[in-house]
Structure 1
Amino acid sequence: MTVGILLQALIGGLANGAMYGLIAVGLTLVFGVMRIINFAHGEFLMIAMYAAYFLWALLGLDPIVAILVVTPVLMLCGVLLYVGVLRFAIRVPEINQMAVTIGLSLLIQHFALLLFTGDNRLVVLPRSTEGFGVGMVMLQVPQMIAGAASFLLLGVLYLLLRRTDFGLMMRAVSQSHDGASLSGIDIGRVYRWAMAVGIGALGVAGPLLVSVLYVNPAVGALFTLKAFVIVIVGGLGSFGGALLGGLIVGVAESVAVAWFSASIAAAVPFVLLILILLLRPEGLLSRRGAH
């Protein structure tokens, strides 16, 4: 492998990793606040990707502009998911919670298959094939836009959680539900907002992703698995862990593709998962270190 190819793999991996982190941060946020792992998380990313695709195909709306439409819709989906399903699932044992969210995942996936068939769809824009050289590295414009936008939103979410009263309430609930309730915090309201922010982040990731990757009804399951690996690697409930895990997975995949093949790269996240579970099961950044 030449130095140029390695640098290109690293830069592309960081851009992909930022997108992975943006997808995973919603999953870890919901777990940190509600103690539920939402296995239907990827299906809402698939919904966001389809929404952006049809806004482009039917109305000619650029996916970047479509973020302004898709994000509020996904935030509403998050609130409805909590009100209609998860507020009841909170009260049941963890195995039942997993069964509920896995069942919801399968329901959404098969409903999408019924509506959209299994065809692959992709937003194709003039910039889709554009690239620019930086030294010995050739960078793809859609990938760089998606990576930069993901880093930007992750920064905004970090400031929201660390510098606002809303973020303080969410952190208080994540540390102690009973203590937060005794302090006068409306736990149900915090749960609704956690779901709105966690799912709403996919309203940004979906439109960014649909011009880089094909969307089909099965794409959500792939990203649910990948997000799950990322939050385990980084540490369940840790915002910084989601970003770190996403960057590690993105770079590892990209280097594996450049060095070996796409089939080997697809196994890399799961190799990382096994290593982390064996060597540091609490993740690289535990929740204790995130607060």
Structure 2
Amino acid sequence: MSATILLQALLSGMTNGAIYALIAVGLTLVFGVMRVVNFAHGEFLMLAMYGGYLAWAHLGLDPIIAVVLVVPALLALGVGLFETLIRPAMRVPEINQMAVTLGLSLLLQYLALMVFKADNLLIVQDRSTASLWIGPVLLQMPQAIAALAAVLLLIGLYIVLRKTDFGLIMRAVSQSRDGAALSGIDIGRTYRWAMGIGIGTLGVAGPLMASVLYVNPHIGALFTLKAFVIVIVGGMGSFGGVLLGALLVGVAESVAGVLTTASVAAAVPFALLILVMLLRPEGLMPVGGGSRA
């Protein structure tokens, strides 16, 4: 393998890793604050991708502009999810909570299948085939835009969580719900916003990814699995762990795709998960060593 091909694989992997981090950060935020595992996370990404596609197909909106419409819609869906399903489910054992979100995942898949059928849809624009040269390697423009948006949003989210009173409240609740309640923090309101933001971040990823990947009713399941791998590898509830885990998964996947076949590359994230669980069960950046969401 030549140096140029390796550099190309590394750049592609880092680009994919940034996008994966954007998808997974909402999952780790919800778990870090609420201790709820949302198996329907990928299905909300699927809805965001359909939202971006419909805005382009019927309103003629660029995916970048469509983000402005899709983010509030996903934020509202997140708040609605908490009020209708998650709040009642938090009164029952964790296995019941997981059953609720798993059932929601299947429901959303089949509803999407009824509405959109099984067709693969893709946003096609003039820049869909445009490329950006970075030294000797090539980066497709849609991937570059999605990765840049991911990096900007992740930086913004990190600043909010670490430098604002709102972020302080989130971190206080994640560290001790009872202690936060005794300090006068409204736990229900904090949970509501955590779920809303956790789902709302997908409103940025969805429209931009709809110009990179085909959207269909089952694409969410693929990204749910990858998001869980990233969150577990990085350390459950760790913001820094999500970034590290996403980059590792993206680069490992990309390099494996160059060295081996596509089917082997698809299995690499899960092999990485097994390896990390054997050597470091708490994850690469557990909550004590990283920035807790």
Q: Distance in 1 between matches of 2:173 and 2:233?
A: 23
Specify the alignment match of 1:239 in structure 2. Answer: 239
Q: Deviations over 1:249-291 (max 9, x none)?
A: 0111111111112111110110011111111111001011234
Specify the alignment match of 1:275 in structure 2. Answer: 275
SS in 1 for 2:75: helix
The amino acid across from 1:176 in the alignment is S
Q: Distance in 1 between matches of 2:35 and 2:96?
A: 13
Q: Distance in 1 between matches of 2:264 and 2:207?
A: 27
Does 1:184 find its partner at 2:199?
no
The amino acid across from 1:162 in the alignment is R
TM-score (norm 2): 0.98
Gaps of 5+ in 1: none
Alignment length (residue pairs): 291
TM-score (norm 1): 0.99
Specify the alignment match of 1:57 in structure 2. Answer: 57
Q: Deviations over 1:207-261 (max 9, x none)?
A: 1111000000000111001100000000000011111111110111111111112
Specify the alignment match of 1:95 in structure 2. Answer: 95
The share of aligned pairs that are identical, in percent, is 68
Deviation, 1:135, is 2.4
SS in 2 for 1:212: coil
Specify the alignment match of 1:72 in structure 2. Answer: 72
The amino acid across from 1:213 in the alignment is L
Q: Distance in 2 between matches of 1:95 and 1:132?
A: 47
SS in 1 for 2:283: coil
Q: Distance in 1 between matches of 2:160 and 2:284?
A: 23
The amino acid across from 1:229 in the alignment is V
- Counterparts of 1:211-250 in structure 2, within 5 Å, are 211-250=211-250
The amino acid across from 1:132 in the alignment is L
The amino acid across from 2:177 in the alignment is H
Q: Distance in 2 between matches of 1:134 and 1:205?
A: 23
Q: Deviations over 1:23-68 (max 9, x none)?
A: 0000000000100110000000000000000110111100011000
Specify the alignment match of 1:261 in structure 2. Answer: 261
Gaps of 5+ in 2: none
Deviation, 1:132, is 2.6
Q: Distance in 1 between matches of 2:132 and 2:177?
A: 50
Q: Distance in 1 between matches of 2:160 and 2:258?
A: 37
Q: Distance in 2 between matches of 1:256 and 1:201?
A: 29
Q: Distance in 1 between matches of 2:118 and 2:76?
A: 26
SS in 1 for 2:138: strand
Q: Distance in 2 between matches of 1:86 and 1:186?
A: 16
Does 1:48 find its partner at 2:51?
no
Deviation, 1:134, is 2.5
